[in-house]
Amino acid sequence: MKKFLFVITLFISTLTANSIDTLVNSAILKNSELKSIEKSIMIANENILLATKYSNPTLSLGLTDIHTNENYNKRDLEPMQAQSIGITQAIPITDKLEINQSIQITNKTILALSLEDKKLLLKSKIYELAYKIAILKEKRDFIIKQKQNLNKIEKLQNYKYQTSNIDVKSLFDTKIASKSFDIVLNNLDTNIQTLKLNLEEITYKNIKDININTTINKKLIKLKSDNHPKIKALQQQLRLNKQQEAFEEASKTSDIKLNATYFNRREFQDYVNVSVSIPLSIYNTENIKVKKAQLQYLKTKDDLQTLKQNFIISNKILQKELDNSYKNHELISKDIISLQKAIEKSLNINNRFKNNTTKIIQNLNKTISLKIAALDEKTKYFTALSKAIYYEGK
């Protein structure tokens, strides 16, 4: 029966607590910045459709040879007097529309990669906050346990005080230490609530509890620089720069404008006028634009190399931080175990309180300091691990 109740309790707690993966997925669906990028991708789809479209033709209506005297309303006096309707259409004579379409496709790819990059950043931040909350709760639970030990000391002190075997100052110091524990617990509660609000800010969800494993293990960060969306986005940017250069080269040959106008005349034969106009490239602006595109390509190439180097160095730094925190935590934990055993032995009522109060409190304070130090190393470990989520690209 007890086993059955335990399973039921565990099942209910699982339902009420948020799993970290569920929290991440919920945040990705609700995050405003990600939604904005998704809308930009939808706009990019429309730009792809528009890229190969000709510009709209121009419709013109006109009257020729309008008299300024009393015969202004007579349209049959001269052969040149006519009403006209015309159409002008700009026609590209290079493949710049196709190049423009490839530019828009690349723009969409960059936006999609940017979306994946932002998702990784969001996931990394959620994990970091969740780990910090979980470790602060471990600190809180530990302080509560040590306060219980302090209450045992006070209980033993009261017993000894009644038998005149303990001084008042020792009892007073224990009460002061108990109050200090209350202040520490209050600060921890405040920090936990603040971090939960920070988490709510980016997940759009009120966080009560989170299921996350805080067991420290040896970890090797696997950097996936070439497959990381941020690096792939810059690689696509290089491609975009080349496409932009090709577009500017194609644009050096201007569009021609074809015009066809129909003239209607009274008393005379109608006629059609056809003309072609070509802008002249005489101010060298097109060559300047090509040069700018070439320089932008070289700049992006340098940016890509810098980013790859930053990824490699960041990976090495995070690995060092993980290894260092893991070793420190293991070393501190060994000292804590031996101190805790000494305290438990001293607090055993059956031993008739052989050790003095000062010695027990000293051991208690040492245990607390070491445990806090161990949990601080744990926080550093999982902060580095959370950041590694971004660099590993998963």
Q: Where are the domains of the chain?
A: 18-53+95-253+285-392
Give pTM, 2 decimals: 0.80
Pairing of strands 210-211, 18-19: parallel
Mean pLDDT of 178-200: 91
**Which pLDDT score is estimated for 222?**
83
- Does residue 98 have a pLDDT over 50? yes
CB 107 within 8 A of CB 183: no
- Does residue 6 have a pLDDT over 50? no
Q: Which CATH number fits domain 18-53+95-253+285-392: 3.20.20.120, 1.20.1600.10, 3.30.2310.20, 3.90.1170.50?
A: 1.20.1600.10
- Does residue 341 have a pLDDT over 60? yes
Kindly compute the dihedral angle of the four CA atoms of residues 95, 96, 100, 103, in this order, to the nearest 10 degrees.
80
Gap between the Cα atoms of 258 and 277, Å rounded: 7
- 251 CB-near residues (< 8 Å, 6+ apart): 94, 96, 286, 289
Mean pLDDT of 352-368: 65
| pLDDT tens-digit map of 224-266 | 778 899 999 999 999 999 999 999 999 888 889 999 999 888 7
pLDDT band with cut points at 50, 70 and 90 for residue 278: confident
pLDDT band with cut points at 50, 70 and 90 for residue 12: very low
pLDDT band with cut points at 50, 70 and 90 for residue 339: low
**Which pLDDT score is estimated for 176?**
75
**Which pLDDT score is estimated for 350?**
44
**Which pLDDT score is estimated for 386?**
94
pLDDT band with cut points at 50, 70 and 90 for residue 169: low
